[in-house]
Amino acid sequence: MGLLITGGCGFIGSNFVRYVLDKHPTHTVINLDKLTYAGNTDNLRDVEEHHKPRYEFVKGDICDKRLVRRLMEHSDMVVHFAAETHVDNSIKSADEFMHTNVFGTYNLLNAAREMKIKRFLYVSTDEVYGSIEEGKFSEDSPVAPNNPYSASKAGADLMCRAYFRTFDLPVIITRSANNLGPYQHPEKLIPKFVINAMLDKPLPLYGDGMHSRDWIYVEDNCAAIDFALQNGDAGEVYNIGGDNEHRNIDITKKILKILNKPESLINHVTDRPGHDRRYALSSSKIKGLGWKPRFKFDDALNNTVNWYKENKWWWEKLRKE
C-alpha cells in the first residue's frame, strides 16, 4: 500500500510517518513537505536510516499541481497534514494560511479525483468548532471558527465535504484535540513552557490561564488517524479526543512541578484576540468502531517533558528568543 503523506516533517505528520512504517511493514510512504520553519527533517532522521527503501522524502509545495499529480501516480491513499498552524501567526497575517490550508487542500483534492485515489484523509482540528461553555462537541456540531487559522481549516473541511458530495471522492476527515509529544515546535505552549522552565525563563501565560483544552498524546492521535483510514467510512468526520481536559494554568503548574521549578516563573500576559475559552470533544463515534486512547495525560506529559530534557540538540536551534 502506497501512502502520500503531506506535511510529514511537521510535528504530528512526522510522528505519523514513523507510526505507519513501524505498524505496517508492507506500506510505502512518500513524504511531501515544503520545509517551512515548522518542518524539520531532523524529525525523521531515524526513519531515513531504518526504513529505506520504503520511505521517500520529497521537498515541495502542495500547491504545485504538477508535483502532487506526479506523486499520486505512485500512491493509493493520501493523508493530508500539511498546514500553517500557529494561531498567533494567523492573527498577524492570514495570507499563507489561506494559500496553504485552503488552496493547497483544494489542489490535492483535484489531483486525488483525477488520479482516482482510494482514500483521502484530511487531518483537521477541534478548533473549527469554536468555543463551548458546557458539554462536548460532536461531529454534528456546527462549524464556527473564531480565528483566521481555524477559519482556514474549516474552509478546507468544507471543501473536502464538497468533493465527497459532488464527486464521490472517498474523503475522511479527522478533528483532533490538542496534541502533545516529541518533535513539537518550540512555539507551541507545552514545548515552549518546558524549554523556558529548563532555562529559568518566564512562562508567558495568556490572560488568566483558565482556558481549557482536551489533550491527546501524539502517538494516540496517530493510531486513531491510521484506524480511521483503515476502518472509517467515506464522507464521515471523526473526532479524536484524549478525554484529558485541563486548564492552561494547571498544565503550566504541572510542568513546573515535574522540572522542580518555582511557580514564580509564570508570567501572565495580555490575552490574544479571539482566544477560545474551552474546547472539548466527544470521541464516541470513533470509539464505537473500536479505537480508544492509551495514554493518560500525566503519563503523556511526563514522557513529553523527558523527551525535551533529553533532546536539547533538537530544540536548541529552533528556539526563538
177 and 242 Cβ atoms separated by less than 8 Å: yes
Q: pLDDT, tens digit, for every residue of 112-152?
A: 999 999 999 999 999 999 999 999 999 999 999 999 999 99
In sequence order, the 6+-apart residues with CB closer than 8 A to the CB of 122 are: 80, 105, 156, 157, 160, 171, 172, 173, 174
Q: Which of 25, 22, 40, 31 is nearest to 3 (CA)?
A: 31
Give me the mean pLDDT over the 93-110 stretch. Answer: 96
121 and 80 Cβ atoms separated by less than 8 Å: yes
Q: Which of 75, 164, 69, 172 is nearest to 123 (CA)?
A: 172
**Residue 70: what pLDDT?**
98
Query: Does residue 213 have a pLDDT over 90?
Result: yes
Which DSSP string do the residues of 235-293 spell out, in sequence order? T-EEEE--S-EEEHHHHHHHHHHHTT--GGGEEEEPPPTT--SB--B--HHHHTTT---
Confidence grade of residue 321 (pLDDT, cut at 50, 70, 90): very low
Sign of CA dihedral 239, 242, 245, 251: negative
Catalytic status, residue 127: yes
Question: What is the CA 142 to chain-centroid distance, rounded?
Answer: 21
In sequence order, the 6+-apart residues with CB closer than 8 A to the CB of 128 are: 143, 144, 145, 150, 153, 154, 157, 175
Catalytic status, residue 149: yes
Which of 85-94, 190-199, 245-254, 297-306 has the lowest average pLDDT?
A: 85-94
Burial 105-120 (b: 16+ CB within 10 A, else e): bbbbbbbbbebebebb
Confidence grade of residue 161 (pLDDT, cut at 50, 70, 90): very high
Distance CA 178, CA 242 (A): 9
In sequence order, the 6+-apart residues with CB closer than 8 A to the CB of 49 are: none
Cell of residue 52, nine digits:
529505506
Catalytic residue among 127, 214, 219, 276: 127
112 and 72 Cβ atoms separated by less than 8 Å: yes
Cell of residue 77, nine digits:
491513499
Give me the mean pLDDT over the 303-320 stretch. Answer: 93
Estimate the crossing angle of helix 218-231 against helix 11-23, to 10 degrees.
Answer: 60
Distance CA 252, CA 164 (A): 41
Catalytic residue among 33, 61, 126, 226: 126
Give me the mean pLDDT over the 4-31 stretch. Answer: 98
Q: Radius of gyration of the chain from Cα atoms? A: 19
Give me the mean pLDDT over the 193-221 stretch. Answer: 98
Q: Which of 84, 21, 16, 8 is nearest to 221 (CA)?
A: 16
Catalytic residue among 55, 106, 122, 149: 149
Catalytic status, residue 126: yes
**Residue 192: what pLDDT?**
97
**Residue 320: what pLDDT?**
61
Q: pLDDT, tens digit, for every residue of 244-293?
A: 999 999 999 999 999 999 999 999 999 999 899 999 999 999 999 999 99
CATH number, span 2-179+216-240:
3.40.50.720
Q: pLDDT, tens digit, for every residue of 168-182?
A: 999 999 999 999 999
Estimate the crossing angle of helix 248-258 against helix 189-198, to 10 degrees.
Answer: 40
Place of cell 500547491: 63
Domain borders along the chain are 2-179+216-240, 180-212+244-315
**Residue 49: what pLDDT?**
85
Size (the chain), residues: 321
CATH number, span 180-212+244-315:
3.90.25.10
**Residue 48: what pLDDT?**
86
